[in-house]
Structure 1
Amino acid sequence: MAGENTFNIGRDGAQLTIIDSNSGPVTISNITGFSSKPEMIKLKSVPVNGRVLRRSIYDGHSGTFEIDRQDASYDQYFADAEAAYFAGLPPGQVFITQTVNELDGSVSQWQYSDVALYPEDNGNWRGQEKVVQKFSFEAGRKIRIA
Structure 2
Amino acid sequence: MQGGYNTGKDVSIDINTPTGPIRLSKLMNFDSKPKVTNQEITPLNGLTDELMIPKGWTGTFDAERVDSTLDDWWAQFESDYYNGVNQNPATITETIQEVGGGVTTWRYTHVILKLEDAGKKEGDKTIHQSMSFTARRRLKV
The alignment's TM-score, normalised by the length of structure 1, stands at 0.91
SS at match of 1:82: helix
| Offset at residue 109 of structure 1 (A) | 0.9
* Distance (whole Å) between structure 2 residues aligned to residue 80 and residue 16 of structure 1: 22
Partner of 2:92: 96
Partner of 2:35: 39
Structure 1 letter corresponding to 2:127: V
Which of 64, 67, 70 is the matching residue for 1:71? 67
Structure 2 letter corresponding to 1:108: T
String of CA shifts for 1:66-106, please: whole Å, max 9, x gaps. 01111100100111111011110001231000111111111
Partner of 1:17: 14
| Offset at residue 49 of structure 1 (A) | 1.4
Partner of 2:119: 123
RMSD across aligned positions (CA): 1.1
String of CA shifts for 1:49-80, please: whole Å, max 9, x gaps. 11111110001011101011111001001111
String of CA shifts for 1:8-30, please: whole Å, max 9, x gaps. 001111x1111112x12222331
* Distance (whole Å) between structure 2 residues aligned to residue 116 and residue 29 of structure 1: 21
State whether residues 29 and 71 of structure 1, in contact with CA within 8 Å, keep that contact through their aligned partners in structure 2.
Answer: no
Runs of 4+ in 1 over 4 A off after TM superposition: none
* Distance (whole Å) between structure 2 residues aligned to residue 133 and residue 87 of structure 1: 26
5+ residue gaps, structure 1 = none
The alignment's TM-score, normalised by the length of structure 2, stands at 0.94
5+ residue gaps, structure 2 = none
Identity %: 32
Partner of 1:54: 50
